[in-house]
Amino acid sequence: MTENRDDDAMDGTTLHDEQTAQLATAYAVAHYFVTIGHREWLFGVGQLADDIERELGAEHYLFITAWNPAPSAATVAQNMAADEHLQARIRDGGFRHCSSLGSNAQGGAVEYGWVVLDVPVETGDAWAREFGQAATLYWKRGEPVRLRMLWPRPPGVADEPYTDWAG
């Protein structure tokens, strides 16, 4: 078999790197909502979340989901079961939390989740890994919302001001 430049594209690492970079970009431009009382508040990566912070009064905020849509294509029942398990983790830790969701910039690809208050970043990372998540959002009061990618930054992916690579 002759070699050509496409051979390394067949390598799973290269494909994974491309998908990781695409996911990071998609998460960074996605729309996130949290329900507080009877209102929904919009927030996003790189933005201040003053209204949410004023309503909830925490020092640290974590957006996390246990949903795994495509490419892993978990069923709705599997996603709901994972969400129940995540909620148990949050309750067992004694953390306050609010219902939330994330969607792509077009309003599709919805993933239901939680904004958890004052959870340590290490705990958030452990939960995200337990539930097979590529990323969470995490921020401190008064600072912009940050994307926290749980995989290593792929080679050639530029440093983004509001993305942390924790992998």
Structure confidence at residue 106 (pLDDT):
84
Q: Give the chain's largest Cα–Cα span.
A: 63
Is 12 within the bounds of a domain?
A: no
Is 13 within the bounds of a domain?
A: no
38 burial type by CB count under 10 A (0-12 exposed, 13-18 middle, 19+ buried): exposed
Lowest mean pLDDT segment, chosen from 5-14, 18-27, 127-136, 147-156:
5-14
Structure confidence at residue 86 (pLDDT):
98
Mean pLDDT to the nearest integer, 108-134: 95
The count of structural domains within the chain is: 1
More confident: 105 or 40:
40
Structure confidence at residue 15 (pLDDT):
55
Q: What is the DSSP letter of 104?
A: -
Is 109 within the bounds of a domain?
A: yes
Domain hosting 25: range is 21-165
More confident: 15 or 54:
54
Estimate to the nearest angstrom the gap between the alpha carbon of 73 and the chain centroid.
Answer: 17
Is 8 within the bounds of a domain?
A: no
Is 7 within the bounds of a domain?
A: no
Is 5 within the bounds of a domain?
A: no
Is 118 within the bounds of a domain?
A: yes
Is 11 within the bounds of a domain?
A: no
